[in-house]
Structure 1
Amino acid sequence: MYLCTACGNKTRFDVFESKRTRTFQHYSLGGEMNVEEEEILDGTIEKVVCRWCGSSESIVEQASMAPEDR
């Protein structure tokens, strides 16, 4: 979870992330592809931008809370 300290936003962010993954891809006889499994081998969050005010400097990461604690 993220929080924008500039405007108070807790729900809307653009997250720029690089990932290295292993996927199990299943192709139908008609040629349609479905990803049935995905394992994230490595990931890096490059930037988080607030959708409300556009700030990327005022974003702090918060520990996730259980739904009953929100």
Structure 2
Amino acid sequence: MLAITRRTNAEEALWIGDNVRIRLAPGRSPNQVRIIIEAPREVNIVREELLGRADPSDDTESADAV
């Protein structure tokens, strides 16, 4: 596990391996942050609260889940 603190007003990024980039950006309101995940299509990305609700291998559902 990695826990880090980032600046709230600056867009910053983290890399996982060589092909997954996670960017943190200010949200629409002061108490929100946007998490932008850039990864190859073969990397499955599903929010934890949606696990078990939909099949993440179904392209139509996973597009809405991210």
For normalisation by structure 2, the TM-score amounts to: 0.22
For normalisation by structure 1, the TM-score amounts to: 0.22
Structure with the bigger RCO (C-alpha within 8 Å, sep 6+) is 1
Larger Rg: 1
| Structure number with higher strand proportion | 1
